[in-house]
Chain A
Amino acid sequence: MLSVGIIGLGNMGMLHLRNCRHVDGVKVVSVADKSKKALKKAEALGVKNLFTNYQDLLKGPPKIDVAIIALPNFLHFESVQRALEEGVDVFVEKPLASTVEECEKIVRLVEKSGRKLMVGHNMRFIEAIEKMKVAIEDGRIGDLEVVTLEQILNGPFTHGMMPRPVAEWWFDPRKVGGGVLLDLGYHLVDLFRFFVEEDSDVILSHLSYKFNLPIEDGAIIVLRSCESGARGIINVGWFQKSVFPEYNFRVILHGCAGFISSESLVPRNIYFHAIKEGTKNILRRILRTKIKPLSYSYYYEAYYKELLSFFDCIKNDLNPPVSAVDGLKTLSLIEQAYKKSNKQ
């Protein structure tokens, strides 16, 4: 049984906590958060050891095997470093750290410690994206020439079911480290890297500021892979009022032999999909077989699948599908895009 500690119980930390309950051979033994309300919620979900600071969680008791880090971006480096020094495997929400320099230090620490580290690039685990990757590998669209990737929504300003103020750190450029380019752009840059499997450069970058914040709320960047010359056109924004459950996200792969769009691979009717998958889960529960958590949502399901994949790597001593080097390379491209944009 792997003992897990979750550091940070915001939306992502809480989601990981709930997902862990459905992973065989895994038990969340401790959580850390400054918020007493969040700790109470975790306690209600059966977590026995509650900490208000993550250093105490890492030291134990109880001793943990794995730390899931879901803290604000500016705390990633320090907490990952501490966790690796304590000798535990780490799953960290993206970005790996705030700067390329910090990412490089983490890469060295991972090598030195021999521990496993995976970065939460959840979008790689969306079923449609997995199918697109297979289509490239099978040669169905020929040589990949252009990838267009779009994700436009409200970002941190999404109005949830229960209205809550947006955490203040999102408004602090030093703490958040960047705007939509770092938040959503990061995911799409990673997907481009995932599809082309080569090093790339940023050839164009434009940032926009519709909401007058010191961080960008719109970004358009163009990437080019170094060997094949495939281009990636990335368009991300936080400026759109998101209407749940609509999800403004699409990827199109254009190859010499054809094209494939994520929109043709995601459920056409999200309500029908939710009912269909939900019914299957109810039946699974009645038949006392394992349910497929979050399968009612093609987007949220990816969060469960990435965790599952991480724990599989630990149990079977495999390399995580998204390594610290992936985190470093993706952040390097993001930094390039910021630098290029400033020169324009």
Chain B
Amino acid sequence: MKLGDVVGLIRTQHSKEEIKSSIAKALDLINFKPKGRVKVVDIKPNLCYYWHSSTGSTTDPLVVGGIIDCIRERYGDDVHIRVVEADATAMRTKHAFLMLGYEKLAKEKNVELFNLSEDELREEKSCVNGVEIRFQVPTSLFKSDLFINVPKLKTLSETKFSCALKNIYGCIAYPKKIVYHSVLHEAIVGINKIIRPHLTIVDGIVALGKYPTKLGLIMASRDPFSVDWVAAQIMGFNPSKVKFLKIALKENVGNLEGLEIQGENIAVFQKYFPKVGFFSSKQWWNTLYSLFLFYIRLSDDVIPPMLEK
């Protein structure tokens, strides 16, 4: 049985030096020591779409840069570091790397950018909640000595929020991940049964709730489930009512035993996080959209293709 883990919370500022030292402090806080020698490191940010990191939707390259500096300081300059991401339904990794500042970062820090959708793939099955789900999994992730998950702290209408476990879902190599949306919660848990990061460092410097906000948070843990349990509370959700966390508990992808918060008080971040209300929820949008489609049928009016599902 997997146990929960220490989650370190550190307050930081949006500057290169400050971010790097906050990441180092967070790692010390959770007493992070990788097993064995570190030669190959994979870092997975969240680059869900071509939205700038200041929108709170994508991982800030400064955070990934800070992680790279910490790795080099701790494990030497000869560590091979890759920043990895997979194509998504609407996002192409090559464009996201360029547009979101990762190509610049790769040149500056001499690291490799790698599209997981172009990796050697293997098909894996996962049975979650009685549902069997198949995934195209990139094999090279399993060869890294240190796989670091670097999600954003953000709300998401489909799953309430997206953080550590959801960012691993982004490793699925098949671009049209929308095919999993009918079993999204199960798919998140399923892929986390297969791919386990060694470390999760959350970019909560700019977090996204009802609107983006400078939360100034770096969060770290060895266990992605523990991270999500704490993240849910920061964003104003009851974690025991979040469907994918409930399934994760049931499926032993996570455990509350051993979960412990270190560093800053969670209340500091809870207070400033802009919580989402009903009018930004998926249910509200679905209701509006259904009414709109009903109107189109009733009136024979035109629907612009951009508003079509």
Which A residues have a C-beta under 8 Å from some C-beta of B? 10-11, 14-15, 18-19, 21-22, 157-166, 171, 210-213, 239, 241, 244, 278, 281-282, 284-285, 291, 293-294, 296-297, 300, 303-304
Closest chain A residue to B94, Cβ basis: A171
> Which residue among B90, B289, B301 has the maximum number of chain A CB atoms within 10 Å of its CB?
B301
Quick check: A161 and B306 within 8 Å, CB to CB?
yes
Q: Does B277 contact A (CB under 8 A)?
A: no
Residues of B within 8 A of A (CB): 49-52, 55, 57, 88-92, 95, 98-101, 103-104, 178, 289, 295, 298-309
Given contacts A210-B52, A212-B101, 18 further A-B contacts (CB under 8 A): A11-B304, A15-B305, A157-B49, A157-B50, A158-B306, A161-B306, A161-B309, A163-B90, A163-B178, A166-B95, A171-B95, A211-B52, A212-B98, A212-B104, A213-B98, A213-B99, A241-B51, A297-B304
Which of A10, A212, A300 has the most B CB atoms < 10 Å from its CB?
A: A212
Interchain CA distance A14-B304 in the complex, whole Å: 8
Q: Knowing A157-B50, A241-B57 touch, does A294 contact B90 (C-beta < 8 A)? A: no
A165-B301 contact given A157-B50, A212-B101, A282-B295, CB 8 Å threshold? no
> Known interface pairs A157-B50, A212-B98, A212-B104. Does A293 touch B302 (Cβ–Cβ under 8 Å)?
yes
Contact A291 B299 (CB under 8 A): yes
A271 CB to closest chain B CB, in angstroms?
8
Helix, strand, loop or mixed for chain A's interface?
loop
Closest chain A residue to B295 by CB distance?
A278
Residues of A within 8 A of B90 (CB): 159, 163-166
Which residues from chain A contact B98 at a C-beta distance below 8 Å?
Answer: 211-213
Docked CA distance A14–B306 (Å):
10
Query: What residues on B are CB-neighbors of A210 within 8 Å?
Result: 52
A285 and B304 form a contact (CB under 8 A): no
Which of B178, B302, B306 is the one whose CB lies under 8 Å from A19? B302
Identify the closest chain B residue to A22 (Cβ).
B302
> In whole Å, how far is A337's beta carbon from the nearest beta carbon of chain B?
23
Residues of A with C-beta under 8 A to B49: 157, 159
B55 engages A241 (CB within 8 Å)? yes
Question: Among the listed A14, A211, A281, A291, which residue makes an inter-chain contact with B99, where contact means beta carbons less than 8 Å apart?
Answer: A211
Output the least CB separation between B236 and chain A (Å): 20
A158 to B50, CA, bound (A): 9
Cβ-defined contact, A165 with B104, below 8 A: no
Contact flag A281-B305 (CB < 8 Å), given A211-B99, A212-B104, A241-B52 = no
